[in-house]
Amino acid sequence: MLGALKRWLRHRALRGNAVHCPLCGQGAVAFLPSGDPPRPHALCPFCGSLERTRMMALALHQRGLPRAGQHVLHVAPDRSLRERIRATPGITYTAGDKKEPGYTYPPGTMDLDVTALPFPADRFDLVICSHVLEHVPDDRTAMRELFRVLRPGGLAILLVPMSARPTTDEDPAVTDPQERRRRFGQHDHVRLYGRDYPDRLRAAGFTVTVEQPAQQLPPTDVFRFGLKADEDLVLGTKGPASERPRS
């Protein structure tokens, strides 16, 4: 009871109109710091969305996705985007995560190995896989699997942490959590992607485009929606088999 009262008071104090979360629709006096080290202006105090989550939500809204009748695969979904997409009438929504002991998962989340997806080819109209592949030792197999289950004409959102370096930094021999944190940015990351990340996706079959949605908005909206000005939105599509390059 006391905890609920504290949350109510905190939420009431944070309500305002300086910023707006496109996921939960709430206005606030500010987005909160989040991350290690903390990023300012990152976390929605009401639904917990982050900069990349809000970027994805805006991108989907601009494209009118998902639509009734579509099948959606959401890998390791964050709560705020999960709830927003699930609320779309008439879609078939599949959420999956590699389940680990000691963690709890929302009802309906299936135990999912992204390197061996249990779905037929060409199943999903929309695939969302955000900040997952940097955890997967065999990321190339995972990319091929995501491509396999994407329906021709469908869209995949495939976000990862990326550095400005031209090539990906990875070394399977690096298993020490502190060294992984130093080199790859987090104790459970197995690589830090470079600017060659889209090339890996293309090798898996995707047609890849990289956008920076914040660059298409006025600075006032970038601030209001709590976006990173230079964050990349990496999109993969799949053409008909007749249009794909032969391996």
Same structural domain, 170 and 70: yes
Number of domains composing the chain: 2
Residue 29 per-residue DSSP state = S
Structural domain includes residue 246: no
Q: What pLDDT is recorded for position 4?
A: 52
How far apart are the C-alpha atoms of 216 and 232, rounded to whole Å? 12
Same structural domain, 226 and 139: yes
H/E element, 209: strand 207-211
Same structural domain, 16 and 94: no
* Mean pLDDT per 10-residue segment, the chain (247 residues): 50 83 96 94 96 98 98 97 97 96 91 98 99 98 99 98 97 97 96 98 98 96 97 96 59
How far apart are the C-alpha atoms of 13 and 10, rounded to whole Å? 5
Domain that holds residue 60: 50-240
Structural domain includes residue 247: no
Same structural domain, 173 and 190: yes
Same structural domain, 45 and 74: no
